[in-house]
Amino acid sequence: MSARTSWDEYFMEIARQVASRATCDRKHVGAVLVRDRIILSTGYNGSIRGMPHCDEVGHLMENGHCVATVHAEANAVLQAARTGVRIEGSALYTTASPCWPCFKLVANAGILRIVYGEFYRDPRIFDVAARLDIELVSLEQATGPQAETAGPGVTPG
């Protein structure tokens, strides 16, 4: 008899599926907002609504990053806003830890828990999350790069 998957693993697997819709081929990221084990909203990184996609027309690069896309976390928050879904007190499942601008957006939206699949470039989130009592949970392997860069307040998955 096989072990039943945890809720964190379940929602992260859904976030990975959402990431498969991403339209910026530099990095596919998916995000799922959940409260009480119910999916509230999803998002993936892609172009501004109505604009051509990076994987069709190329990237708009600044400082080594494509800035044509709206990030997955922001799109999940925006989708909830467009449909009138309250996300305060929810959890965010994202395939990569939020960049600094997305972290600020998520924190101000009242999201209390962030579960991420891989560490993505900005360690500032660890200190600020601890100060704001936002729980960060890594589902990355203990031997991965996040294990070396994680700050206080990170809960291993």
What residues contact residue 22 under an 8 Å CB cut-off, 6+ apart? 28, 29, 30, 44, 45, 46, 72
What residues contact residue 128 under an 8 Å CB cut-off, 6+ apart? 103, 107, 134
Q: Which two tokens stand for residue 42?
A: 């999803």
Quickly count: other Cβ atoms within 10 Å of residue 35's Cβ: 17
- Which of the residues are catalytic? 73
